Structure 1
Amino acid sequence: MKRNLLFIFVLMIVPFTVKAQIKGVICDENQNPVEFANVILMGADSVYIAGTVTDVSGKFDFLTDYSNAKFLQISALGYKTIIKTLDEKNDIGTLVLVSDNILLDEITVTARPSQHLTKGGIITTVNGSVLSLLGNAMDVIGQLPGVKREDDKFTVFGKGTPIIYVNGRKLTDNSELYRMSSKDIASVEVISNPGAKYGAEVKSVLLVRTIKKQGDGLSGSIQGVVRAAHSWSNSDNLSFNFRKNNLDIFGAFAFDHSRRYQQQKNVTMINTGHNLYDLNSDIIILPVSTTYNANLGFNWQINPKNVLGAKYEFQGTPYNHSDWTTNETIELNGILDDKIDYYTYWKRKNMPTNILNMYYIGEYGDWTLTVNNDYYSSRNKAEQEIDEISLSEGKSAISSLNRINSSMFASKSVLDYVFGKNTLEAGYEYTYTNRTDRYDNYNDFLPDADDNIKEHNIAGFISATFPIGVYELSGGLRYEHTISDYYENGLLISEQSRKYDRLFPNIDFTFPIKKAKFTLSYTAKTKRPLYSQLSSNIQYDDRFTYETGNPLLKPEMNHDVSLSGIYKWVFFSASYQYVKDAIVGIVEAYKEGEPVNLMTYMNYDHISKYTAMVSLSPKISIWSPRLQFYLMGQNLKIPFMGTELRMNNPFLFINFYNSLSVGKGFTITGDMLYHTSGDMDVVTLKPSWQINLGVTKTIGNWFFQLSATDIFKTARNSMITYGTQMKLDKWNYSDSQAVRLTIRYAFNSTMSKYKGRGAGQSEKNRL
């Protein structure tokens, strides 16, 4: 019987082990591992077959059996490229890269960006590809498969706003990506199914890895950006790093002064059941803001196995004003009823925001311990003044003051254990948040509010990865215990307080089919309401519109099943999400039978959502096109004027990016972005398209970029919003036609080794 069982076991594992894997290790002349080296498989005719990058240990591994592969090409910035002829064993062993003093400016970049699947996502190699010539990290990330960029914000399709890490350090301000040269980026990984070590609210992650550079001394960069649109804007930043032996001292300062312009036309229909109101509004919005960001820190490599560091960051927006001018006509049952002019003045001040991170990483044999402790505090003030001039009622004034103070402490530890090719991770995360929200309405018809939320969250997690031949299985489990106490005017409100104990599993299975590679994933995530969504204050927008939060909101639970695959330069993914207790922004009647509408939030029992994506990135001589298709849809019914309205029309996004490497340091870019109409929650987004052009030039340590966005002024943020008694049809232009000039000077090449990852990131996003 034992022999039979052994025979069956052997039959089971043979299919997983008989295929020879192409694998090896890359190191430098001092036997140090070379991270993020490009490893490319080529056929007998030197045609590209597949690509990957080395990990932190210098290891690479092609899980799929590429029987037609004949050569292996290894390249990395600062090293000479080598080509290795493959033999039958396919175990390359250790290859040594020799240093090369040729500057990147002297190298003609012709490679297309290589991509391959990773646990929960896809990694794109930037170093040595056309992406390295785009300008900065913002430009690079905005062209990655599955990522949508709007100004300085990113969205991963179907997975929301991602958390961004640079070399393991969590970004708290995306402006850092503007001053990071695309030439300094080794790779970017888009994780659309984050594992258990990330927060239960984290549905997407971007991991930016820069090229490791060596050498003591002072290095840094200075950058200036000028934007000309309806008005002029400018931003400037500088950064430095001083390295002596194993100690780094680094810092940065950024300044941004922004002037923007928005033009909007609203056509609103309100049906109270007794009366029909038709509103036509012309709106001009002029926002102006000034923002500062500064950081200072140190990193100490005690020895090869122990490193610690600390970083302090200051953020402040002392000036953030916006002026709204609205001219509105009102018809009641088809007859002109009134004309109202609104002059709205917003004065916001967000400062200071203080962020302190301290971390330690230590290696103990096969174990690695990572500890992060974070402190966060912020003060925000918003003043609103509205002057109304009504044809029928004369002049009136409405004003309010909102003050929000937030503080948070977070601690996170992760213990990694490597045995063979298997990895095991376990750890905990704790956060404590205290947020006060005081809102004063200086009028008699809307109430004041004084809210205070104190929240404790403690989590434990464990995850593991098991390669089995050409297959890989990974999974994890996260447990979270949350206590949220809600106070109004200093009194604990039990009905609005919350207590949760929840488990969040995830599992990924990676497998090849011939020369293609696939990953099938299941992830359970949550989405807690933003603190602003829990607020009880009521904000006056105009005579027909108020805004408020909902203190009774519950967290939503998201069950996500995804399949992704890659073959050469073709990548695709598809996902289905079942969202329980989905948080949806709605518009309902403030009082029954009256025309005033209240914008608020509620939990729907459930919503089904789906996404699909195809990305094509071939290389045709000096032309590098990247064509991306995205489909997003939902299954939702909403109440609308006494009936049920189906919001099931899907979006189709088409992004077509083009790069031409024309030599002598010049790169020309041309992009076309388009999306159809489609439904998202209670909104129908209207179609929009735009064309962007740009050119970049590198001269020694200098970088120049001139770009023009929305050349034909066709981009729109127009939509139709549906409420229980209203329909708002909005046309919007948001200053998208612009010309931008970027000039950057970088000296020396030393980069910070800071590895602090941060803790409590979900709470920072909610605040």
Structure 2
Amino acid sequence: MKYLISFIIVLYSFPCMAQEILKDSTDLMGISVLDSIQQLEEIVVKGYRPISKVTREGVSYSVKDTPLAQSGAVMEVLELIPMIKKTTAGFEVVGKGTAVFYVNDRRIYDLSDLDDIAAKEIKNVEVITSPGAQYDSSISSIIKITTASNALEGLTFNARSMWYQNRHGNWSEQLNFRYNTKRLTIYDNIKYQADNDLTWKDINQTAYADTLWRLSGAEQEYRKKRTLSNIFGVDYKISEDNYIGGRYSLTYSLRNAMNLDASSEMTANAEHYDFLKTKGDERAYKCPQNLFNVYYSGLIGGYKMNADVDYITSTTKTENNYYENSDSKENRNINALSDIKNRLFSLRTSIGHKLYGGNITVGMEFRHTNRKDNYINSGEYIPMSISLLKETQYAPFVDYSLLTKVGLFGFGVRMENTRFKYYSDGKYIPEQSQSTNKFFPKFSWGIRLGALQAQLGYSTGINRPTYRQLSNNTLYASRYTWQTGNPLLRPEYIHELSLQGLWRFIQFQASYSDVRNAIVNWGHQLTSQQAVSIMSYKNLASVKQMRLAVVFQRTLDFWSPQLTLAMNKQFLHLDTRMQTFNLNAPIGIVKLSNSFKISPTFTVFLTANYQSPGDYRNVHLSRHVWSVNFNATKSFFHERFSLQLKVNDLFHTNKDGNEVYSDCMTMNILNTYDSRAVSLTLRYQFNPKAYKRHSHSSVDRELNRLN
């Protein structure tokens, strides 16, 4: 007689706080937690596992296997991450400006590329507020997205269709293909997007010149944009630790148009001077934007090596036609053509190795930019300009980290040699060309004391003027308002001391910065006609700023609340010919995010945002800005099919106001956006990974209860 004896051993731990010591010396263990409840007969054990951790450069947030993974696409994930704020220009990190994006350690130049990433494909999101020496010193904040590896072989694809309704209909169609073998991955992402956007502005402008000039007006802008894009890439695994690949991205603007309706009244010493009615249209003919990328990443003999090459080309031609009707002056018909051609070449290499118990990385970055910027018109009312801007940068860097008994130390320095050349009408202009050679040191010290993790850092950086800010082009807004750049602008230099950390479910941040040569919008009057205001830019000697933030984050059964409280306060006394303005009012920010896991396949998100009035540079933010957003996601058929319903700005309260102070002029702008909208997104995924293994034994069911 034969007997079969089977032993089933179930190991179960009962931690009050799950903790892990990370071997990567660049990370500190995260303490912010996600609840998980395990039930064994009549005993309920409640444990926690980290969803965020302090890193050497910022804070990393887990997405996989958290409520964030059910939020839809990457854009919805970012809206729920602490300290990230969505703006009309993209996403910014509170107090650190607009963020630069990296996906799997590769730079993303077009935010629309992020639409290809589903929330459940994301492993983690790292919010970097103190970028290391390996990054350009002009980058003040980075959002790094790491996706989960897909080892599945064969062909997979997913389709996504979105309809978005505000006052006009908007839609997006997307199809992604991927083919994997053991060594080779080929992917192709195709997307078509149609956007319609409305903006209303109320403008009041006062100039204290030879006469008291007041301009009061209102305008409506309606923009239409149709875009077709394609991303094709190949990744090849040479060996277990060596990869090579490339990517080609094509973005083609099928239609880019703007229609303007505006009216304004000008008074002189409170007496009527002129009334304007303006109708305008803008048509952009954008040649395809091309991005070529080739990379290598590998480990050879203990040396970690990386190399990236990017080449970007884009051309945009924009026709501007404005008809301006005046009740007391001559009518004007303004026709202008803006022709901009951009070329960018970037090469970055680095090599890392162990050194004296730590990790050292040495590298070099080279970048060359060429921009032709021509603004052609009749020259009757505003001047023409033909400009060429060239910039070349060499930037060697070294970064070293060392884990000791008293904490994790990081040291880095980057030297940037930049040569900027400005040409006008084909002639080199030496006084408007600048060359700089600067060192940018970085230092950080991170410690762990029980449940507390904290990191102290000092960093230096630079904010270079944009090419539009340096341009000589004079844009015609009306006969009483022009816009132009300032080729004499100097870069901003930033010194910042920061402290950040985690304690259980609380995250905190504090920083103090000094921005020298701060760039601000600045208006002045045309010498030959004081009624005309010219909006341009200038440098202020210094603007100092303090930032405080705290985040509370928990998961309580099916409900996961998250509360962010932040405050930005600057210290600025602005001297003008009108008076000295004390622009020290703090800006308060509140963000309350809630996720409700109704079932394993149905999750609801409700988010409220608030920003108080306050001061930023020479601008007073004059309105209380708040909004409420709703998001519900439901998946079907083993997560192959998902349906998402969103309502943005539920109460249509996302309206802002700005009061701009210049030398002898003030400008008050109230903006209203067509932001209240309903969207419906359908996503279908064909992937054998979506088939779940069905369990038939009681052991499998019990193990599932314990997981």
Question: So what's the TM-score if we normalise by structure 1?
Answer: 0.83
Partners of 1:112 and 1:305 in 2: CA distance: 30
RMSD between aligned alpha carbons?
A: 2.5
Partner amino acid, structure 1, of 2:666: K
Deviation at 1:590, TM superposition (A): 2.5
Partner of 2:656, secondary structure, is coil
- 1:439 to 2:378 alignment: no
CA-to-aligned-CA distance 1:192-241 (integer Å, 9 cap, x gap)? 00101111111111111111121211112111111110111111111111
The match for 1:655 is 591
Q: Find the partner of 2:313 among 366, 371, 377.
A: 377
Partner of 2:80, secondary structure, is coil
Partners of 1:673 and 1:173 in 2: CA distance: 26
The match for 2:66 is 129
The match for 1:386 is 322
Q: Find the partner of 1:486 among 422, 439, 449.
A: 422
Deviation at 1:51, TM superposition (A): 6.7
Instruction: Name structure 2 gaps, 5 residues minimum.
Output: 1-11, 41-46, 691-707
| Alignment map for 1:323-722 (pairs within 5 Å) | 323-418=259-354, 422-469=358-405, 471-591=407-527, 594-685=530-621, 686-699=623-636, 700=638, 701-722=640-661
8 A Cα contact 1:675 1:687, kept in partner: yes
8 A Cα contact 1:655 1:673, kept in partner: yes
8 A Cα contact 1:143 1:657, kept in partner: yes
Deviation at 1:396, TM superposition (A): 1.7
8 A Cα contact 1:486 1:494, kept in partner: yes
Q: Find the partner of 2:148 among 205, 208, 211.
A: 211
Partner amino acid, structure 2, of 1:748: N
Q: Structure 1 residues 119 and 61 mapped into 2: Cα distance closer, same or farther (>3 Å)?
A: closer
Partner of 1:138, secondary structure, is helix
CA-to-aligned-CA distance 1:701-749 (integer Å, 9 cap, x gap)? 1111101111111110222222223222222211111101111111217
Instruction: Name structure 1 gaps, 5 residues minimum.
Output: 1-41, 67-71, 76-80, 84-109, 752-767
Q: Which moved more, 1:727-736 or 1:549-558?
A: 727-736
Q: Structure 1 residues 481 and 559 mapped into 2: Cα distance closer, same or farther (>3 Å)?
A: same
The match for 2:181 is 244
Q: Which moved more, 1:436-445 or 1:494-503?
A: 436-445
Partners of 1:205 and 1:194 in 2: CA distance: 7
| Alignment map for 1:131-280 (pairs within 5 Å) | 131-150=68-87, 153-272=90-209, 274-280=210-216
Partner amino acid, structure 1, of 2:229: N
CA-to-aligned-CA distance 1:495-550 (integer Å, 9 cap, x gap)? 11111111111011001244211000011111111111110111110121111111
Partner of 1:594, secondary structure, is strand
Partners of 1:545 and 1:263 in 2: CA distance: 18
Partner of 1:717, secondary structure, is strand
8 A Cα contact 1:123 1:188, kept in partner: yes
Partners of 2:179 and 2:28 in 1: CA distance: 38
Partner of 2:98, secondary structure, is coil
Aligned residues: percent identity?
27
Partner of 1:193, secondary structure, is coil
8 A Cα contact 1:113 1:126, kept in partner: no
Partner of 1:214, secondary structure, is coil
Deviation at 1:112, TM superposition (A): 8.2
- 1:736 to 2:675 alignment: yes
Partners of 2:681 and 2:61 in 1: CA distance: 25
Partners of 1:538 and 1:547 in 2: CA distance: 6
The match for 2:231 is 295
Q: Structure 1 residues 750 and 303 mapped into 2: Cα distance closer, same or farther (>3 Å)?
A: farther
Partner amino acid, structure 1, of 2:190: F
Partners of 1:113 and 1:227 in 2: CA distance: 35
Partners of 1:524 and 1:603 in 2: CA distance: 18
Deviation at 1:631, TM superposition (A): 0.8
Partners of 1:451 and 1:112 in 2: CA distance: 57
Question: So what's the TM-score if we normalise by structure 2?
Answer: 0.90
8 A Cα contact 1:152 1:174, kept in partner: no
Partners of 2:113 and 2:430 in 1: CA distance: 42
8 A Cα contact 1:309 1:359, kept in partner: yes
Q: Which moved more, 1:742-751 or 1:593-602?
A: 742-751
Partner amino acid, structure 2, of 1:716: K
Q: Find the partner of 1:321 among 234, 241, 257.
A: 257
The match for 2:700 is none
* Equivalent residue pairs, number: 667
CA-to-aligned-CA distance 1:642-682 (integer Å, 9 cap, x gap)? 21212211100101111110115111111111111011122
Deviation at 1:618, TM superposition (A): 1.2
Q: Which moved more, 1:261-270 or 1:624-633?
A: 261-270
The match for 2:703 is none
Partners of 1:500 and 1:260 in 2: CA distance: 41
Partner amino acid, structure 2, of 1:736: S
Partner amino acid, structure 2, of 1:213: N
Partner of 2:530, secondary structure, is coil
8 A Cα contact 2:20 2:29, kept in partner: no
Partner of 1:183, secondary structure, is helix
